[in-house]
Amino acid sequence: MTVRPEGYIEATIDETASQDSSRAQPLFAEPIDVVVAQALAVERLRLEEATLADLNGLLERLQRSISVAQEAIRQMSDRQRIAARPPPSQK
């Protein structure tokens, strides 16, 4: 299972049963927000007997994930801004 940069969770099956992920065949890809919404459906929470501690733990993980994504955006923006700068003029 991998998370793609555009926010999809992709499950794969490896035909060769090796560690070579280039041979993996995608089974499905779902947007992260859809997966989270499905996991937090009222009936599912009841069946899973989720607790407030479970949900708070999930919230903390999601907040850390948001911070990681924001940092990646900041770094990419910085690199693009630097690459777009005109070279210094030489006198």
pLDDT in tens, 2-49: 888 889 998 888 755 555 556 667 788 899 999 999 999 999 999 999
Rounded to whole angstroms, the Cα distance separating 29 from 40 reads: 19
Assign 69 a pLDDT band (cuts: 50, 70, 90): very high
**Taking the C-alpha atoms of 16, 21, 27 and 32 in order, what is their torsion angle to the nearest 10 degrees?**
160
For residue 76, give both structure tokens: 């990419």
Instruction: Give yes or no for a contact between 31 and 5, defined as CB atoms under 8 angstroms apart.
Output: no
For residue 12, give both structure tokens: 């794969």
- Longest Cα–Cα distance in the chain: 73
The strand pairing partners of 26, in sequence order, are 12
For residue 67, give both structure tokens: 């911070």
